[in-house]
C-alpha cells in the first residue's frame, strides 16, 4: 500500500522540525518515510514528549530506499519499508536487530499482527500502517459510468480511456495484481508463466498515461486522468475532493500491504530510534498517523482516537463480502524474484 499512498513529488526532501519550546534535546532522531505519510505535528509531539530533536526525510518507493541504504546514504535512524521488502533488507544486512527490552509497547499489537510471516518475532520491524492496493476510477469519466469489479478494466482498459490510466511505478505493485488477474502464482518460478505477466503488462503500456507513484491524490482529485492504480488511503483523500471517484476491490484479489518501522544498520542514534518505535506504538500516537494518512494501524486501543469517517469508508473498512479478496504478502523465492525483476526491466525499456 504509501503518499504511499499520497503525493510523492518531494522525493528525498529533508524537512527539519525544530524542537518546540526547548533547547535541551536529549538526543537526535533522523527519520525517513514515504512522502506525505507522516503528520509533521506528530513529530513535534514526539519532540515535546521525549526531548529528542527529530528530522524527517521522504522517498517515493521501497526501491529508492533500498538503493539509498545500500549506497550508505541517508544516515537514517528509522525508515519505513513495506512487508515485501523486509526480508530483502535483512538479507542485504541493512537492518539492525531490535532490542525488544526497549519496546514494552509491543504488547499493544493487535493479535493478528503479533506474528507476521515476513518477520514472525518482530526481530527487525514493528507495523506502522496497513492498507490495500486496488485502483480507482472516476464514474463521471468512464464508459457507462461503472466498471466491473475486476482487474480487467485496469489491465485491458476500453479504447476510450487510452492515455487516461495511470499505473504505480513499482514492480511489486503491478506484478502481483497481474498474476491475480491471469490466475498465475505471483511467486511462480516458471519463465512461461512470468512471460504471460510480461505480455499483459506490455500490452497495457501503450494505454497508460504514465507509471507514477507520485501525486496519486492530486491527479484523481483534479480529474486529470480517469483511472489510477491507487492505495486505499490515497483514494480516501482524493474522494474527499471529488465524490465521483470509486475504489475497486477486484474480484481476482487485492494486495494487502503492511508498512513497518525499522532501524537501519548504519543508524547512530539507536536509543532514540527505539524510543521512537515504542512511542509510536502508543494508541493515541499511532491514531494521529492513521487520521493523517487515512490508513488503519495495528495497535489495540487506537480506534477510540481515530476519525469516524475512516470506519465509514468501505475503501478503508473493507466490507465483509470483500474480505476474502484481500491477499496478504507472500514470500517468494530468489528465483521467482529474479523473474519478476526481468519482467520489470523489459517493461521499463
39-48 pLDDT, tens per residue? 999 999 999 9
Dist CA 53 CA 51 (whole Å)? 6
In this prediction, residue 267 carries a pLDDT of 96
Q: Which of 263, 340, 309, 314 is nearest to 31 (CA)?
A: 263
Q: What pLDDT, on the 0 to 100 scale, is given for residue 2?
A: 53
- pLDDT at position 63, please? 86
- Grid cell at residue 217: 491524490
Banded model confidence at residue 60, pLDDT cuts 50, 70, 90: confident
How far, in Å, CA of 349 to CA of 46, rounded?
44
Section 135-151 average pLDDT: 97
Residue 9 pLDDT? 33
Task: Output the CA–CA distances (angstroms, integers) from residue 18 to 7, 138, 279, in the order listed.
Answer: 24, 41, 19
Q: Is pLDDT at 204 greater than 50 in this prediction?
A: yes
Taking the C-alpha atoms of residue 345 and residue 54, their distance in angstroms, rounded to an integer, is 37
Rounded mean pLDDT of the chain? Answer: 91
Report the sign of the C-alpha dihedral through residues 64, 67, 70, 74, in that order. Answer: negative
Segment 311-333 mean pLDDT: 91
| Residue 22 confidence (pLDDT) above 80 | no
Amino acid at each position: 500500500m504509501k503518499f504511499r499512498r499520497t503525493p510523492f513529488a518531494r522525493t528525498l526532501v529533508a524537512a527539519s522540525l525544530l524542537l518546540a519550546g526547548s533547547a535541551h534535546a536529549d538526543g537526535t532522531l533522523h527519520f525517513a518515510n514515504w512522502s506525505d505519510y507522516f503528520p509533521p505535528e506528530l513529530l513535534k509531539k514526539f519532540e515535546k514528549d521525549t526531548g529528542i530533536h527529530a528530522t524527517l526525510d521522504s522517498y517515493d518507493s521501497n526501491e529508492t530506499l533500498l538503493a539509498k541504504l545500500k549506497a550508505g546514504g541517508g544516515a537514517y535512524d528509522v525508515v519505513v519499508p513495506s512487508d515485501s521488502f523486509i526480508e530483502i533488507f535483512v538479507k542485504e544486512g541493512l537492518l539492525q536487530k531490535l532490542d525488544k527490552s526497549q519496546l514494552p509497547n509491543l504488547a499493544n499489537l493487535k493479535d493478528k499482527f503479533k506474528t507476521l510471516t515476513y518477520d514472525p518475532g518482530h526481530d527487525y520491524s514493528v507495523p506502522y500502517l496497513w492498507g490495500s492496493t486496488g485502483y480507482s476510477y472516476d464514474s463521471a469519466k468512464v464508459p457507462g459510468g461503472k466498471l466491473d469489479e475486476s482487474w480487467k478494466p485496469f489491465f485491458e482498459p476500453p479504447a476510450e480511456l487510452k492515455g487516461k490510466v495511470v499505473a504505480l511505478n513499482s514492480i511489486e505493485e503491478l506484478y502481483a495484481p497481474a498474476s491475480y488477474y491471469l490466475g498465475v502464482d505471483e511467486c511462480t518460478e516458471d519463465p512461461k508463466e512470468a512471460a504471460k505477466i510480461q505480455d499483459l503488462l506490455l500490452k497495457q503500456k501503450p494505454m497508460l498515461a504514465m507509471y507514477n507513484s507520485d501525486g496519486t491524490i492530486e491527479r484523481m482529485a483534479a480529474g486529470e486522468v480517469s483511472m489510477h492504480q491507487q492505495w486505499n488511503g490515497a483514494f480516501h483523500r482524493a474522494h474527499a475532493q471529488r465524490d465521483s471517484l470509486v475504489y475497486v476491490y477486484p474480484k481476482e484479489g487485492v494486495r494487502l500491504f503492511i508498512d513497518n518501522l525499522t532501524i537501519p544498520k548504519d543508524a547512530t542514534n539507536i536509543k532514540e530510534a527505539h524510543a521512537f518505535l515504542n512511542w509510536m506504538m502508543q494508541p493515541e500516537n499511532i491514531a494521529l498517523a492513521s487520521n493523517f494518512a487515512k490508513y488503519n494501524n495495528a495497535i489495540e486501543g487506537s480506534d477510540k482516537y481515530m476519525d469516524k469517517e475512516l470506519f465509514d469508508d468501505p475503501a478503508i473498512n473493507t466490507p465483509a463480502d470483500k474480505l476474502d479478496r484481500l491477499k496478504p504478502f507472500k514470500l517468494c523465492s530468489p528465483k521467482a524474484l529474479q523473474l519478476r525483476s526481468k519482467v520489470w526491466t523489459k517493461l521499463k525499456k
